[in-house]
Amino acid sequence: MNIKIKIGLALLFFVELFYFGLIFLSDLNFQLLNPQGSIARQQRDLGMLVIGILLVVAIPLIGAMYWFAYKYRAGNKKAIYKPDTRHSKFTELVWWLIPAVFIFILAIITWNKTHALDPYKPLESSVPPVRIQAIALNWKWLFLYPDYNIATVNFIQFPQDTPVNFEITADAPMNSFWIPALSGQIYAMSGMSTKLHLIADNTGDYRGQAGEINGRGFSGMKFIARASSREEFENWVGEVRRSLKTLDENEYSTLSKPSENNSVTHYSSYEQNLYNKIMMKYVVPDGEKKMEEM
Amino acid sequence: MEFLFGRLTLGALPHEWFTIGGTVFMTLAMIGVVAFLTRMKLWKWLWHDWLTSIDPKKIGIMYFIVAALMLVRGGLDAGMIWLQQVMGASSGGYLSAQHFQEIFTAHGVIMVFFVTMGFLFGFMNYIIPLQIGARDLASPFLNTLGFWLYVAGAILINMFFVFGGEFAAAGWLSIAPLSGLEYSPGVGMDYWIWSLQISGIGTTLGGINFIMTILKMRAPGMTLMRMPIFTWASLCSMVMVVIVFPLLTATVALLNLDRLLGMHFFTTTAGGNAMMYTNLIWMWGHPEVYILMIPALGVYSEVVATFSGKRLAGYTSTVIALNAIAIISLFVWLHHFFTMGSGANVNAVFGISTMIIAIPTAVQLFNWVFTMRKGRIRFDTPMLWFLGFVFTFSVGGMTGVLLAVPPADFQLHNSLFLVAHFHTMVIGGALFGIFAGFSYWFPKFTGIKLNERLGKYAFWFWIIGFWVSFGPLYILGLMGAPRRLERYDSVTGWQPLFVVSLIGFGIICIGTAFLVAQIIVSIKNRKKYADLTGDPWDGRTLEWSTSSPPPFYNFAVIPEVKNRDAFWEMKKEGKRIKSKYEDFEMPKGTATGIYIAIFAFFFGFAMIWHIFWLAIACALGIVAFIIFRTFYENTEYEMKAAEVEKVERMR
């Protein structure tokens, strides 16, 4: 290779390295690697375990590949050259067995962990859970607190060390509900109610967002999930209850129209049965009307 | 007016800078090409020798040209996406959300359907008949028809630049209900539907044709277990095409019924089921990525064996592994939506079935490792691409297994980690395979060896550029950055990584420039780089036994195959193919494929804009041409032995 090009490549490489270094020094917020809740932590640990097991096979295999590439290079006349080597059936069987054993181990882990970390499974805790119903609208998140009869847009608060039980649906295209620091995501779909359970170990504001592309306002469809002390949470509920806005039928039909980058809104109360009504709208033809008749 | 032009009104014509720019550029390019052809009096040559040719070698080259053009388009899209994401911190940037979403949709569709598929079909057209010792494909007509339908789809997808409207903005798979009439009322989604329908039918026809060819046209003595691995890989891939592409056609047709006639297959209301769309499209979509991957694995097996100067270790294992990958990949589609809430049992089953694919894939790696052992390895460009692929592909494979673990997937799904993963597979796997295959077989295509030095520069820039641009995306994924965001808060700290990623894209562009320069330099100095032997790499399979480029009938005498690596064994025995010529039949060129594709193109166009009279007329045209073609009797002509001898002497 031309020496100039070599120098150029090396320079480029070091510029990159330098830049990467700068980024890492300016502490990156690895939300998936620094989880703030037990669900997200278990998800991370599982991921690390899987990668670890895979590396046990991959490193020797890839290493052998590059070692052989070096050792048996055409320039190395000392290396043995046997163009017609045939491998016995037994050797080939070993090639199949090695990865098979590892995948077998991984399969057992996967089966167990998939059941253990099923997002539908309620979390065990001595504290009673907080229930939140999340509704994906175009393009904002509406949250209902059925136990407190309050509603919010693009903001939720809940106490730390308390299980939070989400029920999730949509009155808009399919979406995905995701708070990376606390737990993985689950889809929000109209006419369906999905469930997600999570718990926050530490107080803080966590970024929540829409995961699945759903149109123009997709990027702006984010919310804040605030984990606070029990006391602050109760105060916050009181504050929301004092809000002048209520989410009645009219207000909901305005809210559910497409809008982008909505700011946080509090509603001191909402129409009873709103969540079911939104669901029923899609479950049966004219579902909304039938719900009213009931 | 509405009857005449449907939805196509003056208001729909291009009026944004990018569409007008596209129109102007395409018109100028068109005028340039037409002027050049007229001036050089090349029209007749173009029509007779290329466009209406049924020679799979020429069709293969035409596939390459179209795919390369589409690669430029897809690459430009990629650059625009990256630039917007760099600028997108705290609501900056130069693209609107709609435009950004159109671009990444187009990028995905073009790269998968028109670039990777195009290149693979190009290789298969050129190489498979040569590898199996055949003079042509089983059905030359289906082949040209498939190719021209692919071209019609490729043009149609770019037509929104000219006729305006908008492009689909719901991601490359247009997941319902976002792609339904309620949320995407414009013509954009219809562009997506019809270019996929038309090119998809072309792909299905190609698949059928290659299966027939491989099963029925092999040279005497070439049993299935003596076939070269690339042919085996293509066979697996084409069987999958025939199994899953009808699924795509049906799914997209149902979506179209929803949109056109107001039906309710995938709508959220009136009993429609949007989840069913996700299921159906991924039942095609996951096998599709393996359709792209498997022929590339075949290319690598050829390259490793040739450049190690050694028999492929574990031929039987490789064949079983390829078949296993093909079959198992039909049963894993649900891993694309673990997050839909199917429940732990379903998720675990599909997670494990996905992991099982890692077994035959690892076996492939073992085969290559042991092929290199005790070989004599030459580091020509194809081998470099292979070695680069091994590392990239292993990382991609490991992240793939990670994504197959449902609880981990809940965090990584829809994140940039996922984006990095599948680009590692498609670029590091399929595209590097295409580059490896291209530099490996280029001497066969042209009789010219490629400039090695430029090829090596291209490789190093590509591999470094790839990791500089996709490494940060893995990191961003771990920071919880979702994909497809055109704007984000600057407090997230994502911007510097997007900057690194964009730099990587720049390096990739330099690599691509070297690839182009390599071809230009080599062709310019074709005397210096000429390869007169037809076998520049000391090859092992039959395609190297004929001259470069091969005569239009491939083999003057059909070789008789006695072993695997047929040509290698022939060379060892020191026997060249005997030259006792016989008469044989060759297919005649035909323009019917082009005519049908033109009708198909206008049919698609008419359906997009709801110009129903034109659609009906075109549909009738297609049917008429197909019936007309079935009455053709003399589609072949006789090639006399004396003529063959004359051609052979002149070479």
What's the pLDDT at B161?
Answer: 75
Angle between helices A89-116 and A38-71 (to 10 degrees): 160
* Cβ-contact B203, B124 below 8 angstroms: no
Residue A8 lies in a domain: no
Determine the residue of chain A that is closest to B494 in CA distance: A28
Residues A140 and A273 in one domain: yes
Summarised one tens digit per residue, pLDDT across range B54-113 is 888 999 999 999 999 999 889 989 999 999 988 888 777 888 888 889 889 999 999 999
Distance CA B338, CA B351 (A): 9
Q: Which of B89-98, B530-539, B642-651 has the weakest average pLDDT? A: B642-651
pLDDT, greater one: B431 or B635: B431
A2: pLDDT confidence band, cut at 50, 70 and 90? low
Give B569-624 as a DSSP string. Answer: HHHHHTPPPP-----EEEEPP-SHHHHHHHHHHHHHHHHHTT-HHHHHHHHHHHHH
Residue A15 lies in a domain: no
Determine the average pLDDT of the residues in A107-120: 91
A157: pLDDT confidence band, cut at 50, 70 and 90? very high
Distance CA B82, CA B28 (A): 27
Residue A248 lies in a domain: yes
Residue A151 lies in a domain: yes
Complex ipTM, two decimals?
0.89
Check whether B615 has a pLDDT greater than 70.
yes
- Rg for chain B, CA atoms, rounded: 25
Which residues of chain A neighbour B274 with C-beta distances below 8 Å? Answer: 174, 189-190
Residues A151 and A213 in one domain: yes
Percentage of chain B beyond pLDDT 90 is: 41
Angstroms from A266 CA to nearest CA on chain B: 23
What's the pLDDT at B206?
Answer: 92
Residues A198 and A138 in one domain: yes
CB atoms within 10 A of CB B510: 17
Residue A18 lies in a domain: no
Distance CA A169, CA A178 (A): 13
Residue A81 lies in a domain: no
Residues A151 and A229 in one domain: yes
SS3 of residue B637 by DSSP: strand
Give chain A as a DSSP string. Answer: --HHHHHHHHHHHHHHHHHHHHHHHS----TTTS-SSHHHHHHHHHHHHHHHHHHHHHHHHHHHHHHHHHHTBTT-TTS---TT----HHHHHHHHHHHHHHHHHHHHHHHHHHHHT-TTSPPP-SSPPEEEEEEEETTEEEEEETTTTEEEESEEEEETTS-EEEEEEESSS-EEEEETTTEEEEEE-TT--EEEEE--SS-EEEEEEE-S--STTGGG-EEEEEEE-HHHHHHHHHHHHT-S--B-HHHHHHHTS--SSPPPEEES-B-TTHHHHHHHHHHSTTHHHHHHH-
Residue found under tokens 């027939």: B212
Distance CA B223, CA B563 (A): 9
Residue B16 lies in a domain: no
What's the pLDDT at B480?
Answer: 85
What's the pLDDT at B620?
Answer: 92
Distance CA B69, CA B539 (A): 30
Q: Average pLDDT of chain B?
A: 88
Residues A108 and A214 in one domain: no
What's the pLDDT at A20?
Answer: 67
From residue B624, give the alpha-carbon distance in Å to each of A72, A251, B82, B210. 61, 59, 47, 26
Taking an 8 Å cut-off on Cβ atoms, the answer to whether A61 and B341 are in contact is no
What's the pLDDT at B1?
Answer: 65
Residue B627 lies in a domain: no
**Which residues 336-355 in chain B show a CB within 8 A of chain A?**
337, 339-341, 343-345, 347-348, 351-352, 355
Check whether A93 has a pLDDT greater than 80.
yes
Residue B387 lies in a domain: yes
DSSP, res B639:
E
For the record, the structure tokens of A60 come out as: 């020797």
What's the pLDDT at B598?
Answer: 92
Query: Is the CB of A69 inside 8 Å of chain B's CB atoms?
Result: yes
Determine the average pLDDT of the residues in B625-629: 88
Helix (H) or strand (E) holding B638: strand B636-639
Residue B334 lies in a domain: yes
Residue found under tokens 């990256």: B82
What's the pLDDT at A21?
Answer: 67
**CATH assignment at residue B134:** 1.20.210.10
**Which residues 604-643 in chain B show a CB within 8 A of chain A?**
none
Check whether A42 has a pLDDT greater than 70.
yes
Which residue, B292, B358, B316, is CA-closest to B67? B292
Which residues of chain A neighbour B401 with C-beta distances below 8 Å? Answer: 50, 54, 106
B14: pLDDT confidence band, cut at 50, 70 and 90? low
**CATH assignment at residue A200:** 2.60.40.420
SS3 of B490-555: HHHCCHHHHHHHHHHHHHHHHHHHHHHHHHHHHHHCHHHHECCCCCCCCCCCHHHCCCCCCCCCCC
Check whether A80 has a pLDDT greater than 80.
yes
Residues A141 and A59 in one domain: no
Q: Which domain holds residue A186?
A: 130-293
Residues A226 and A139 in one domain: yes
Residues A175 and A46 in one domain: no
pLDDT, greater one: B629 or A144: A144
Residues A44 and A165 in one domain: no
Which residues of chain A neighbour B477 with C-beta distances below 8 Å? Answer: 32
Residue B530 lies in a domain: yes
Check whether B330 has a pLDDT greater than 70.
yes
Determine the average pLDDT of the residues in A244-251: 88
Q: Which of A160-174, B85-99, B351-365, B447-461 has the weakest average pLDDT? A: B85-99
Determine the residue of chain B that is closest to A180 in CA distance: B480
What's the pLDDT at B575?
Answer: 62
Summarised one tens digit per residue, pLDDT across range B469-486 is 998 899 888 888 899 888
Determine the average pLDDT of the residues in A90-101: 89
Which residues of chain B neighbour A217 with C-beta distances below 8 Å? Answer: 97
Determine the residue of chain B that is closest to A2 in CA distance: B453
Distance CA B148, CA B198 (A): 10
For the record, the structure tokens of B492 come out as: 């997230």
Residue A55 lies in a domain: yes
Q: Which domain holds residue B179?
A: 42-590+635-650
What's the pLDDT at B591?
Answer: 84
Query: Is the CB of A117 inside 8 Å of chain B's CB atoms?
Result: yes
Taking an 8 Å cut-off on Cβ atoms, the answer to whether B344 and A51 are in contact is no
Taking an 8 Å cut-off on Cβ atoms, the answer to whether B270 and A285 are in contact is yes
Q: How many domains does chain B have?
A: 1
Which residues of chain B neighbour A77 with C-beta distances below 8 Å? Answer: none
For the record, the structure tokens of B381 come out as: 């460009």
Which residues of chain A neighbour B176 with C-beta distances below 8 Å? Answer: 174
List CB contacts of A174: < 8 A, sequence separation 6 or more.
A187, A188, A189, A190, A212, A214, B175, B176, B177, B178, B274, B278
Angstroms from B175 CA to nearest CA on chain A: 9
Residue B173 lies in a domain: yes
Residues A149 and A254 in one domain: yes
Check whether A1 has a pLDDT greater than 60.
no
Check whether A3 has a pLDDT greater than 80.
no
**Number of residue pairs across A and B with CB atoms under 8 Å?**
295
Residue A25 lies in a domain: no
Check whether A227 has a pLDDT greater than 90.
yes
Distance CA B540, CA B364 (A): 19
List CB contacts of A35: < 8 A, sequence separation 6 or more.
A41, A43, A44, A181, A182
Q: How many domains does chain A have?
A: 2
What backbone torsions phi and psi does residue B218 show, to the nearest 5 degrees? -65, 150
Distance CA B103, CA B121 (A): 25
Check whether B320 has a pLDDT greater than 90.
yes
Q: Average pLDDT of chain A?
A: 86
**Which of B345, B374, B404 is opposite residue A85, by nearest beta carbon?**
B374
Which residues of chain B neighbour A106 with C-beta distances below 8 Å? Answer: 355, 401, 405
Summarised one tens digit per residue, pLDDT across range B163-173 is 767 888 888 99
Residue B612 lies in a domain: no
Q: What per-residue string of b and e applies to B410-439 under the rule 16 or more CB within 10 Å gives b?
A: bbbbbbbbbbbbbbbbbbbbbbbbbbbbbb
A24: pLDDT confidence band, cut at 50, 70 and 90? low
Residues A233 and A203 in one domain: yes
What's the pLDDT at A220?
Answer: 87
**Which of A82, A174, A185 is opposite residue B177, by nearest beta carbon?**
A174
Which of A28-32, A86-90, B327-331, B495-499 is most confident? B327-331
A22: pLDDT confidence band, cut at 50, 70 and 90? low
Check whether A286 has a pLDDT greater than 70.
no
**Which of A12, A176, A195 is opposite residue B414, by nearest beta carbon?**
A176
Edge-to-edge strands, sheet with A183-188: A155-159, A222-228, A204-210, A175-179, A183-188
B578: pLDDT confidence band, cut at 50, 70 and 90? low
Give B300-352 as a DSSP string. Answer: HHHHHHHHHTSPPTTHHHHHHHHHHHHHHGGG-GGGGGGGGT--HHHHHHHHH
**Which residues 148-207 in chain A show a CB within 8 A of chain B?**
173-174, 176, 178, 180-181, 183-187, 189-192, 194-195, 207
